[in-house]
Amino acid sequence: MIIPAIDMIDGQVVRLYQGDYAQKTTFDYSPLQQLKTYEQQGAKLLHLVDLSGAKDPEKRQSDLIAQLAGKLQTPLQVGGGIRSKQQVEELLQQGVHRVVIGSLAVKHPEVVKAWFTEFGAEHICLALDVNIDEQGQKIVAVSGWQSGGGKTLESLVAEFAPVGLQHALVTDISRDGTMTGANTRLYQELASLYPEICWQASGGIASLNDVAAVRDSGASGIIIGKALLTQQFTVEEAIQCWPNA
């Protein structure tokens, strides 16, 4: 599945290079119009990251996200700065289909596991953003990639399997925003080890060849941000390459 994405800081559409807030590109696009364009081109799921909230939970763009969710027909998946049950509940009530949880799942897994039980596994997606070290260990980063979490991806999957983990978004940080191609080997490994999980690939997509490579890796979906914003190809072209389920 093709999953178009936008990242927002202070209401503006942006992209970061490898998660670095100091290396930010701002696009002169309306968040609503951009998401509606993706919707009109056939997207079946949209992805939004609140980078303001990811960096500082006090600056979550809650009102804007509620407006966007209310004006879109396509299911919206939202992440960034979500730290409490109240925030998850608020987003779901506002029409967000699925909430993406990152750092908190690493730091306080018991809290997040309770949300799986309460809200349902379909409505929670884990964001597992990894730095792969020289030994091949997939170390999950936290706090908007500003620090390491000290836990491996595999250990977190094992932690959340008992509560029915269904959706996980995995980003190879070294590829994000670089448009150097996805880490398809990573997604092949994950799809093989954990076929019961819908893996969303993210990071590095630059061309339709990259889309096809991720399609063939066994991943369930692909998050595409910068390549669409810079008009390397359209959502329609990506869907032709990988038809949406």
Active-site residue numbers?
A: 7, 129
Amino acid at 60: R
Instruction: Give the pair of three-digit tokens for residue 13.
Output: 């559409």
Between β-strands 12-17 and 20-27, what pairing exists: parallel, antiparallel or unpaired? antiparallel
Tell which residue, 61, 44, 45, has the closest CA to residue 53: 61
Tell which residue, 213, 155, 161, has the closest CA to residue 187: 213
Assess contact for 92 and 99: CB atoms under 8 A. Answer: yes
Tally of CB atoms within 10 A around 90: 17
Q: How many residues does the chain have?
A: 245
Contacts with 91 (C-beta within 8 Å, 6 or more apart), sequence order: 65, 69, 78, 82, 99
